[in-house]
Amino acid sequence: MVFIRDILVIFAVAVLVSFLIKSFVVRSFYIPSPSMVNTLQVNDRIIVNELEPSLMPIQHGDIVVFKDPGGWLPNLPQPPQNPVAGAIDSALTFIGLSAADSDDHLVKRTIGLPGDQVACCNALGQLTVNGVPLKEPYITLQPGEQNAASVYFSVTVPKGMLWVMGDNRWNSQDSSRNQDLPGKGFVPESDVVGRAFVVSWPANHWTGLDNYPEVFRGVEDARSG
């Protein structure tokens, strides 16, 4: 009996610790769309650091998970789910090993921070941030296409907002594609759940997620200057 009691106590403590970590430190999400290909594949699972932006500021190039700012995602009916599978998924979501609400969130790369001037495209088809052209090795373009975005734009990111874009530039509901909405395509920093820092599943996709600081080198200086 003592052995069984100890096992139950250990299990309860493990669940509690996992829940606390999920609530305040890290959380798992899955990727439901191809908007971040080739960096992230459909059905990849990622681990998100929830300390950013609450304790650590978001940086250029960070891949962030955020709640739909309003109208970015289609209103799709929820498919029927087996009650047993639903209960298991809810339990795993509670302790942070699943993400039942992934379909209500988006995953994009941070291109513009508050105060930045972001535009597309220059004569070479590149994005510019504060006039600095970006050479982006992580993006996927349509065959024969050189522009780093599917629409032209020139914006200044307001205080408390972000400008985000998918790496699969011509197949992503990102800031550039949502400028006609009330939010003008900007994402409130308060809607950010955290920064994705690793692909955790499947095992053959395991990798850390880079924010490519060399791509954005000089952008901060150009803004302050």
Residue 55 — very low, low, confident or very high, per pLDDT cuts 50/70/90? Answer: confident
Among 35, 98, 176, 200, the active-site one is 35
Q: What are the phi and psi torsion angles at 18 (to 5°)? A: -60, -40
Which pLDDT belongs to residue 99?
Answer: 54
Q: Where are the beta strands (DSSP E) in 22-168?
A: 26-30, 45-49, 63-67, 105-112, 117-120, 127-129, 132-133, 153-156, 161-165
Q: Which among 57, 74, 59 is positioned nearest to 164, based on CA atoms?
A: 59
Residues 6+ apart with CB under 8 A from 52: 58, 62, 64, 192, 194, 195
pLDDT digits (tens, 9 = 90+) for 89-129: 444 554 454 455 456 899 999 999 999 999 999 999 999 99
Say how far apart CA 209 and CA 101 lie, in whole Å: 22
pLDDT over threshold 50, residue 83: yes
Residue 20 — very low, low, confident or very high, per pLDDT cuts 50/70/90? Answer: very low
pLDDT over threshold 90, residue 166: yes
Residue 1 — very low, low, confident or very high, per pLDDT cuts 50/70/90? Answer: low
Fold annotation for 33-78+102-224: Umud Fragment, subunit A (2.10.109)
Q: Which segment of 20-24, 107-111, 151-155 scores lowest on mean pLDDT?
A: 20-24
User: Does residue 135 carry a catalytic annotation?
Assistant: no
Among 28, 98, 108, 200, the active-site one is 108
Q: What percent of the chain has pLDDT over 90?
A: 64
More confident residue, 218 or 27: 218
Question: Angle 27-28-30 (CA atoms, 0-180°, nearest 5)?
Answer: 150
Say how far apart CA 44 and CA 30 lie, in whole Å: 6
pLDDT digits (tens, 9 = 90+) for 185-215: 999 999 999 999 999 989 899 999 999 999 9
User: Does residue 108 carry a catalytic annotation?
Assistant: yes
Which pLDDT belongs to residue 26?
Answer: 77
pLDDT over threshold 60, residue 225: no
